[in-house]
Amino acid sequence: MSPSSLLERSLRSVWHPCTQMKQHETLPLVPIVRGEGPWLVDDSGRRLLDGISSWWVNLFGHCNPRINAALREQLETLEHVMLAGFTHEPVVQLSERLAALTGHRLGHAFYASDGASATEIALKMSAHYWRNAGRPEKSRFVSLAGSYHGETVGALAVTDVAIFRDAYAPLVRAGTTVPTPDARLALPGETAADVARRAAAGLEAHLAQHHAQTAALIVEPLVQGASGMVMYDPEYLRRARELCDRYEVHLVADEIAVGCGRTGTFFACEQAGIWPDFLCLSKGISGGYLPLSLVLSTGAIFTAFYDDSAARGFLHSHSYTGNPLACRAALATLDIFEQDDVLAANRLLARQLGDGIRERFDGHARVRHLRQRGMIIAFDVDTERADFSRRFFAAGLDHGVLLRPIGNTVYFMPPYVIGAEEIRHLVDGAAAALAAALA
């Protein structure tokens, strides 16, 4: 390894995210030089199948020709303008199209750049709504056990993943967690819907006592991603919607990971037949190209801020709010959904992917709780090895797949452009990585 290699330079100057940097003494960084569809290519020409969509953001492959073309055109027209006092076609079109996708129930889009900021915007808007409504004591938040809504200090208030929160606990005004509807918690004879009803009873008990101080419940609809692809029955969302209505508490759907078709419908909430008061999107919305996040909200929320008084307005901003390039990438992404009828195509693709994975891993002596929701498939591995995830990841690279287990949970969340041949490669690579990690 030459001292000036990309890897060495990166370790000297870049502080990598979600990483104990010392681990890179033994586990090398992977210098990526190119992307092609579902593939990443490293500096030695090795091809890696991106089985987790580069942290769940990529939908239609790397260097997608259609998104590239849209961005090139935008680049020659308008790269950026501030959104306070100004507007532009891409941000208006995107807002209109997203509103239409909610059947105009969530007709007001507020923009930021990353997911955690979308969480913070939804929480701030909710609390500010209640303040404007003359009920400032409604300023507490409720989330599910094992929830993940981002890692800024505000978002950590509703994130219940110890490794992300513990070191910063003194900085955080923590919300309350209520039971998760995790389907794995089913008692003998219970269905996933039974678990959902049991968890909803826990939510009800909390709201019955604390609704007067509670602004909002925030949930990851159907799949709690970062705590290990925890899946649950849509019945929970229906009950949560009812309880939030009954106790006058906002429902925030964090669809940052599960939105944009990931679970089978464009928004995961659609599978429960409910709509939230706030809906957060990020990750896939720009096709995985550019940092973009947004919060959709209802007319009732918007109206509560609409006033002659500046202080009643939502005075929140980010420098890159509504960036035209990011919005244009999102429009190109929505175009692909429409032109290719992606949701229909994904029903078939999800079946092929699920069948391929089940064929190989169902019945494996160490595999537990193989589960699927649309284009997300996961299983837990029965192992005592504390370094299982790292060993699996490293072995996966040796077999040409990018898979990064969360603890003992192996999951697959590939871009929507993966073909039959590539599914085979992914499953073979995962099987080899599992054998190596357990050896």
- Residues lying near ligand PLP in the complex (CB under 6 A) are found at 114-116, 119, 148-150, 220, 225-226, 254, 256-257, 282-283
The smaller minimum CB distance to ligand PLP, of residues 148 and 416, is found at 148
Select 120 or 235, whichever has its Cβ closest to ligand PLP.
120
| Cβ-proximal residues to 228 (8 Å cutoff; 6+ apart), any chain | 146, 378, 380, 406, 407, 408, 409, 411
- β-pairing, 278-281 vs 293-297, is antiparallel
The residue nearest ligand PLP at its CB is: 115
Q: Is the Cβ of residue 200 or residue 218 nearer to ligand PLP in the bound state?
A: 218
Q: Alpha-carbon distance 105 to 94, whole Å?
A: 15
Nearer to ligand PLP, 160 or 220 (CB): 220
CB atoms within 10 A of CB 77: 13
Per-residue CA distances from 228 to 103, 182, 421 (Å): 31, 11, 27
The nearer residue to ligand PLP, 47 or 318, going by C-beta atoms, is: 318
Q: How far is the CB of 118 from ligand PLP (least distance, A)?
A: 7
8 Å CB contact between 30 and 381: no
Q: How far is the CB of 47 from ligand PLP (least distance, A)?
A: 26
Minimum CB distance to ligand PLP smaller for 222 or for 437: 222
- The three-class DSSP label of residue 412 is strand
Cα angle value 192/261/141 (rounded, 5°): 60
Identify any residues that bridge with 218 across adjacent strands, giving them in sequence order.
143, 252
How do strand 230-231 and strand 223-224 relate by DSSP bridges?
antiparallel
The Cα 15–Cα 339 span in angstroms is 40
Among 271, 266, 276, smallest CA distance to 240 is for 276
We find the least distance from the C-beta atom of residue 141 to ligand PLP, in angstroms, to be 14
Q: How far is the CB of 256 from ligand PLP (least distance, A)?
A: 4
The least CB distance from residue 317 to ligand PLP, in Å, is: 17
CB 119 → ligand PLP: shortest distance, Å? 6
Compute the least distance from the CB of residue 257 to ligand PLP, in Å.
3
Smallest distance, Å, CB 122 to ligand PLP? 10
327 touches 90 (CB < 8 A): yes
**At its nearest, how many Å lie between ligand PLP and the CB of residue 140?**
19
Q: What is the spatial distance between Cα 231 and Cα 253, in angstroms, rounded to a whole number? A: 15
Q: CA Rg, the chain, in Å?
A: 22
Q: Are 366 and 409 within 8 A, CB to CB?
A: no
Q: Give, for 66, the enclosing helix (H) or strand (E).
A: helix 65-75
Beta partners for residue 373, in sequence order? 376
d(CA 357, CA 353): 6
Tell me whether residue 203 or residue 230 sits nearer to ligand PLP (CB atom).
230
Sign of CA dihedral 296, 264, 237, 283: negative
- Asked if 265 contacts 343 with a C-beta cutoff of 8 angstroms, the reply is yes
* Complex with ligand PLP: residue 268 or 426, whichever CB lies closer: 268
CA distance 212 to 191: 33
Q: What is the nearest approach in angstroms of ligand PLP to the Cβ of residue 192?
A: 20
CB-nearer residue toward ligand PLP: 282 or 389: 282
Task: Read off the DSSP letter of residue 211.
Answer: G
Between 156 and 434, whose beta carbon lies closer to ligand PLP?
156
User: Which stretch of DSSP H or E encloses residue 34?
Assistant: strand 32-36
Query: Which CB sits closer to ligand PLP, 19 or 352?
Result: 19
Q: Residues 6 or more apart from 303 whose CB is under 8 A from it?
A: none
Shortest reach from residue 281's CB to ligand PLP, in Å: 10
